[in-house]
Amino acid sequence: MKVTSKSLKKLLRDIFQKFGLSKVHSNICANAIINAELVGAPSHGLSRLKMYCERIKKKVINPKPKIKIKKISQSISFIDANNSIGFVAADIGIKQAIKNARKTGIGLVGVKNSGHYGLSGYYAEQATKKNLIVICFTNAPPAIAPHGAKKKLFGTNPICFGAPTYSNTPFILDTSVSEINRGKIRVAAQMGKKIPKGVALDKFGKPTTNAKKALAGVQLPISGFRGSGLAWMVDILSGVFTGGNHGGKVKDPFEDFSGPQNIGHLFLVVKPNLFVGDFNKRIKENIKRIKKLPKLNGVKEILYPGQSKFKRYKKNIKRKILIPKNILKDLNILN
């Protein structure tokens, strides 16, 4: 089944309100989920809706949170999200970081007692639209074994960086530190499809292309010990530093309903002209210089991070969104 973004947004808002969220918070959640579908990341879109609703129903997500923002300085804020849905906590967090940065040049915001917030790039884009540079960190449930260990402990812990390019398409690098993000493996498991070779091990430590066995086993980090180190770095910045869960204590949102996830987020936003006044000119020169490099056979254009995703968004915004049968069934039940 295919539906327009407008009709899907109304449906999602209605579902979230049915589960106790306010109109404002329901709108924030609907926008984030639809964005994931439009940029070609369904693993972070509708496929997670049932999970969010189940967590609200089982009272491990607070639908009516009393979110507290503590002002530490003109530049720094600390947010206790009161176990709100991650979309709402992150939306408030990035907006506060943007506000601080526009006042002082730098905005640093830590968030605790949050949950899974979808795509990091979605929040980074909010900052780049205001002509600001941004870095986002968030940790996740155990999926990757620390280098040298047999048991998974770190999440796929995405690292996200964004910068304005003063064109329609910002530079946004949004990448997990695993060979493949966990959401894609979950979608593959739901659809009964295989995953690529070399991205996961089963619970016995053997390579597998079976998505269900991969979920029960261990995901492989990018670049071996380097990827493991980056996962650890994010766990410190978004978990240890903010007061969120860390060291393998973040609960799996699909399987563990014993309590809130208490995920931590960290947003750093800065004005691009803090050191030099001609950032606009310099970033354009930087991109132009790289795009002019000799290309490999078959390569039409050297793309910077974020370009492919923006192209998918532009193409998909004109089309209806495809809803797979299994997700359509969930939507009908939830509505």
271 inside domain: yes
Q: In the chain, how many domains are there?
A: 2
Query: E strands, the chain, where?
Result: 2-3, 68-71, 76-80, 106-114, 133-138, 159-163, 171-175, 200-201, 218-219, 263-270, 321-322
Contacts of 99 (CB under 8 A, 6+ apart): 107
The answer to whether 98 and 107 have CB atoms below 8 angstroms apart is yes
Q: Are residues 101 and 143 in the same domain?
A: yes
Contacts of 294 (CB under 8 A, 6+ apart): none
293 inside domain: no
* Lowest mean pLDDT segment, chosen from 171-175, 272-276, 327-331: 327-331
> pLDDT value at position 314?
94
Domain extent at residue 187: 179-220
- Report how far residue 235's alpha carbon sits from residue 225's, in angstroms, rounded to the nearest whole number: 15
The residue-averaged pLDDT of 274-299 equals 96
**Listed residue (239, 243, 261, 244) closest to 252, CA to CA:** 261
Q: Are residues 76 and 93 in the same domain?
A: yes
Q: Are residues 57 and 188 in the same domain?
A: no
Q: Are residues 134 and 216 in the same domain?
A: no
Contacts of 9 (CB under 8 A, 6+ apart): 30, 31, 34
> pLDDT value at position 261?
98
Q: Are residues 49 and 168 in the same domain?
A: yes
* Lowest mean pLDDT segment, chosen from 6-10, 48-52, 144-148, 208-212: 144-148
Domain boundary among 157, 190, 220: 220
CATH code of the domain in which 192 resides: 3.30.60.50
Q: Are residues 151 and 248 in the same domain?
A: yes
Q: Are residues 93 and 232 in the same domain?
A: yes
**pTM listed for this prediction:** 0.94
Half-sphere exposure for 7 (CA within 13 Å, toward CB): 10
The residue-averaged pLDDT of 152-171 equals 95
99 residue type, one letter: K
User: What's the pLDDT band for 182 if we cut at 50, 70, 90?
Assistant: confident
- Report how far residue 168's alpha carbon sits from residue 163's, in angstroms, rounded to the nearest whole number: 12
